[in-house]
A and B are shown apart, each in its own frame.
Chain A
């Protein structure tokens, strides 16, 4: 493509930014227990808030709810899609990309945000627009553009239930595609690791091996964390360590809501935890809602792999 051709192409493509893909449309079925059960079974999600009506009747909510992540399922077109899809501005735009050789397609990520819970009997409405199209990018898959659609879900009263952003890369496939492993740009981000040096590397190494250690002065036996080279009590440089039983109690806690950081779960709960051995540790609390955490709460920890590259102590309600 000459610069002039590229400009002409981009003018046509960028004209789609802000264009409505579909007006507010009701889902074919109201939220119902059968579809919730199918979804929860397929996902292996046994949360009684979704499927156990007796349990739910006695819960804070008084009724079952649909899994929030299921939001997009209600408005799916269903089997008819196999017989072809009616054209809309998004299919037109994709066709335009294809015409210019950007035939490759890769869904890169989906982000959902939830504002309100829905229960059986509610009806979900969907409206969608093309929210953004990136500048031209050189990715390891080939030259391309990222576009993002924004789907907004509301209930029968017009109240916003959630949003979903879907990001797609349309690219010109390379003749000899690079191996996916060499593809930095499309790699799933992971948590920011601790650098490892003399004084802390052994501690993280033990975590990798499934153990939570606490440094101990060999001379006076005082425990210390985070690890450091000298004992502050007796100035000895000699140390060993003990393995923690990973039982503890919440000293304080918070939840990082904003900004969202790539590679991290949404809204991670972090806590200062007093371990039964007496030293404090900062780690995540998982396995319960933020609202259920309190100062003084008893916890039991496990070492878990939390993403492709990261292993960390994670604590659960005891």
Chain B
């Protein structure tokens, strides 16, 4: 029995800042720009926000954000841990607060100078004095230092088990890039990816080459979550949360769950999928479009299997049949994803999934989108959410 939150919270405003490689402003500035943009999109004043949800990784304290935005009293703030695993995790916090009445209007945000400031691709350093330093110590001495190297380990195993080749990863990279080509806010706007460029790019950590990896970006993204009753009076078509789940599976580590019986199953995504489908009363066949967390191309393939769009071992054929494309079964990462729009830790994905249900994506599929899936990171404690039109 899962929690009953279906249609108890609605997303009424969404916004991204401009994305860049050097914002020239503080992360606080990016955060408040994104939230103000989401308020404008919803037609509300920042004073109406009474709660915040973000990532433990975010550097912007809620009270700083509140003062800068000119908010009034707050009754809720909550953070979600584990990097990109917090993308739908922060939505999960907001939905719980709104559904229980702890807050009425929660801004979910993530803002980072991910290229000009702290760069995740530089890996974990020996100067970390956090509680998980000991965890990373099992990997750093050997050179297993970067997100790409941890993901590569899982990917190599999964390719061995399924026989899926890099052709499928190329299709994910190429198709995602095609969407970015027509998105003016995407870093790769107007720049398609051809086969030679993809296959000749430098190796990062075998089997991951450069274009299997997302970018590093400066930018902010935010969404406003409130009650469906209130949502009806606001500017935009109402998009509600049909299901939202967090999941950490047995033997879970951050990016390095290397001690499970099978290291390439992404069991945490299977748990989140089961819970989201049960909460929403929906099935994979009801999902019309998706924003699938793509820090690396294989992330998308493993999740297609975990979220039951195809059977284990079939994700390669699923994407090579063109199913992620605009006219395919499941148009995916229509904003250009983190591979090609910007890496905002998946919160730009919440923005895009909401736009897909509203019918406002820059690459809106021709078919009707009643339900869109959005997911969080792979290899970490994670989650997902299903958004839909208010019944």
Contact = CB atoms under 8 A, between A and B. Distances in A.
Contacts of B206: 254-255, 257, 290
B107 interface: no
A188 to B, nearest CB: 15
Nearest to B135: A226
B137 A259 contact: no
Given A194-B140, A272-B153, A256 B263 contact: no
Contact of A195 (B121, B137, B139, B156): B137
Contact of A200 (B126, B134, B203): B134
Contact of A257 (B121, B139, B205): B205
B143 interface: yes
Given A256-B144, A264-B143, A284-B142, A195 B134 contact: yes
B200 to A, nearest CB: 13
Contacts of B202: 257-258
B140 A280 contact: no
B65 interface: no
A158 interface: no
A253 to B, nearest CB: 6
A310 interface: yes
A261 interface: yes
A283 B156 contact: no
B258 A257 contact: no
Interface string B125-157: 110000001111111111111100100111011
B139 A282 contact: yes
B160 A295 contact: yes
Contacts of A284: 142-143
Query: Which of A200, A254, A264: most chain B CB closer than 10 A?
Result: A254
Nearest to A255: B206
A2 B125 CA distance: 39
B138 A268 contact: no
B249 interface: no
A226 B143 contact: no
Contacts, number: 110
A255 B153 contact: no
B206 to A, nearest CB: 5
Given A252-B264, A256-B143, A225 B123 contact: no
A270 B149 contact: yes
Contacts of A225: 259
A270 to B, nearest CB: 4
Contact of A252 (B133, B141, B160): B160
A200 B157 CA distance: 27
Interface string A260-276: 01001100101010000
B146 A256 contact: yes
Contact of B126 (A192, A252, A255, A290): A192
Contacts of B263: 251-252, 272
A225 B256 CA distance: 13
Contacts of A257: 202-206
A193 B259 contact: no
Given A195-B137, A255-B203, A264-B143, 7 more contacts: A193-B126, A194-B138, A195-B134, A226-B135, A226-B138, A258-B202, A270-B139
24 contacts: A191-B142, A192-B124, A192-B125, A194-B136, A195-B134, A199-B134, A200-B134, A226-B259, A251-B258, A252-B154, A252-B160, A252-B264, A254-B149, A255-B203, A255-B206, A257-B202, A258-B204, A258-B205, A268-B143, A280-B258, A280-B259, A295-B157, A295-B160, A310-B141
Counting from the closest, the 10 A-B pairs by CB-CB distance are A194-B137, A268-B143, A252-B157, A254-B152, A192-B126, A192-B140, A270-B144, A257-B203, A272-B258, A295-B160
